[in-house]
C-alpha cells in the first residue's frame, strides 16, 4: 500500500510588515469600523507580532511603524478618540445600554478613562442619561409599559409582582440602578414614559 501523500500546510504565511502594508491594513480597517487610537494600534500590533514570529523579524521595528502611523492619523483627523467615544456612547445609549456598560465598552476599546468619564457625563446632561437608556432598554425588551397590553393586565397580583421582580432583575443585570428601573417600570404606558423623559429635559 502506497504511503499517504504528506499533508500540506494550507495556512497562509503572514506578510512581512512594511509601511505600505500597515497603511493598507489600517485604511481597510477604518473603512469598516469606527475605532479608537488604542484599538487600531492593537489590531495592527497583532499583525506585527504574527509577522515577526513567522519571519523572525524584530517586532520593535513594526511597533515603531505602527506608532508613527497612529500619530499621523491622529494629526490628520482620521483617528479622533473624542469623536469616536461620543458617537459610540450615544449609539449605545439609544440602544438601551446603561452608563456603566457604556464605560466598560469604551474601556475595552482603549479609550482613556478621563475621556470616558467626560463622555458619559456629557451624555447624561444632553441626552437624559440612564433614564433615557433604561426606557430604550425596556422598549427593546418589551418590559413594563412596553409589554403588550394583554401582558400588562393579565394574571393576578402574585403574577404581576413576580413579573415586575423579573423585569427589575433584567434591568439590574443590564447595569441600571434600582431607582431608575423602578421609575421606568412604574409607568402605565408609553405615553407616561415620554412624559417622564420630557420632565428630565
Considering the domain architecture, whether residues 113 and 123 belong to the same structural domain is answered as: yes
Per-residue pLDDT, 129: 86
Is the residue at 67 inside a domain?
yes
Domain boundary among 71, 95, 127: 127
Considering the domain architecture, whether residues 161 and 139 belong to the same structural domain is answered as: yes
State in Å, rounded, how far the first CA of the chain is from the last one.
82
pLDDT along the chain (201 residues), means of 10: 44 87 96 96 96 92 96 96 95 94 95 96 83 94 86 63 93 94 93 88 63
| Cell, residue 95 | 440602544
- 140: CB partners within 8 A, 6+ apart: 95, 96
Per-residue pLDDT, 156: 60
Backbone phi, then psi, for 110, in 5-degree steps? 85, 15
The SS3 call for residue 56 is coil
Considering the domain architecture, whether residues 201 and 135 belong to the same structural domain is answered as: yes
Considering the domain architecture, whether residues 100 and 160 belong to the same structural domain is answered as: no
Domain range spanning residue 192? 131-201
Considering the domain architecture, whether residues 143 and 100 belong to the same structural domain is answered as: no
Considering the domain architecture, whether residues 101 and 122 belong to the same structural domain is answered as: yes
Is the residue at 98 inside a domain?
yes
Per-residue pLDDT, 6: 44
Per-residue pLDDT, 153: 55
Considering the domain architecture, whether residues 162 and 173 belong to the same structural domain is answered as: yes
Number of domains making up the chain: 3
Considering the domain architecture, whether residues 176 and 136 belong to the same structural domain is answered as: yes
Q: Quickly count: other Cβ atoms within 10 Å of residue 84's Cβ.
A: 20
Backbone phi, then psi, for 18, in 5-degree steps? -135, 160
**Are the C-beta atoms of residues 124 and 118 closer than 8 Å to each other?**
no
Q: Cα–Cα distance between 13 and 155 in angstroms, integer? A: 63
Considering the domain architecture, whether residues 26 and 59 belong to the same structural domain is answered as: yes
**Residue the block writes with cell 478613562:** 113
Is the residue at 13 inside a domain?
no
Is the residue at 12 inside a domain?
no
* Distances in whole angstroms, Cα of residue 98 to Cα of each of 9, 107, 141: 47, 14, 14
Amino acid at each position: 500500500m502506497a504511503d499517504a501523500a504528506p499533508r500540506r500546510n494550507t495556512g497562509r504565511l503572514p506578510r512581512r510588515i512594511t509601511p505600505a502594508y500597515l497603511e493598507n491594513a489600517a485604511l481597510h480597517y477604518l473603512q469598516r469600523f469606527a475605532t479608537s487610537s488604542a484599538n487600531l494600534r492593537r489590531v495592527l500590533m497583532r499583525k506585527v507580532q504574527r509577522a515577526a514570529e513567522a519571519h523572525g523579524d524584530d517586532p520593535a521595528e513594526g511597533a515603531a511603524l505602527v506608532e508613527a502611523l497612529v500619530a499621523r492619523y491622529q494629526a490628520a483627523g482620521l483617528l479622533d478618540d473624542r469623536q469616536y467615544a461620543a458617537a459610540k456612547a450615544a449609539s449605545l445609549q439609544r440602544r438601551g445600554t446603561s452608563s456603566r456598560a457604556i464605560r466598560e465598552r469604551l474601556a475595552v476599546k482603549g479609550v482613556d478613562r478621563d475621556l470616558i468619564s467626560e463622555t458619559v457625563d456629557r451624555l447624561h446632561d444632553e441626552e437624559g442619561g440612564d433614564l433615557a437608556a433604561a426606557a430604550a432598554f425596556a422598549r427593546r425588551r418589551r418590559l413594563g409599559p412596553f409589554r403588550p397590553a394583554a401582558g400588562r393586565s393579565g394574571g393576578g397580583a402574585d403574577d404581576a409582582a413576580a413579573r415586575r421582580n423579573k423585569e427589575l432583575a433584567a434591568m439590574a443585570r443590564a447595569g441600571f440602578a434600582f431607582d431608575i428601573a423602578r421609575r421606568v417600570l412604574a409607568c402605565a404606558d408609553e405615553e407616561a414614559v415620554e412624559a417622564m423623559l420630557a420632565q428630565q429635559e
